[in-house]
């Protein structure tokens, strides 16, 4: 699922440009350009898997109403992940 999500995001954000060489119109180079402002194109599938696992764990913890200490610990971990991934 995460690999499919990564491929979809990469496919949407990839610009393909064809650059023709001088003097030879038959040969073309296809350059793959990735925008620098997007982190999703450079994120590995492992990072996305860990991120989604933590998010789902936090959601499950809130749904099943864990005690306040555990909820606070989950929130600290979640905030740390957001800061590291920023």
Give the residue extent of every domain in the chain. Answer: 8-38, 43-86
Size (the chain), residues: 86
- pLDDT tens sequence across 1-60: 445 555 554 554 444 444 444 444 444 444 444 455 555 556 677 778 878 888 877 777
* Neighbour count for residue 40 (Cβ, 10 Å): 13
pTM above the 0.75 mark? no
Q: Do the Cβ atoms of 77 and 68 come closer than 8 Å?
A: no
Check residues 31 and 68 and name the one with the higher pLDDT.
68
């Amino acid at each position: 699922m995460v690999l499919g999500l990564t491929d979809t995001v990469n496919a949407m954000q990839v610009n393909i440009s064809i650059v023709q060489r001088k003097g030879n119109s038959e040969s073309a180079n296809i350059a793959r350009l990735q925008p620098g402002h997007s982190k999703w194109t450079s994120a590995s599938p492992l990072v996305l898997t860990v991120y989604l696992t933590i998010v789902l764990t936090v959601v499950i913890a809130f749904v099943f109403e864990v005690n306040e200490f555990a909820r606070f610990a989950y929130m600290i971990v979640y905030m740390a992940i957001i800061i590291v991934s920023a």
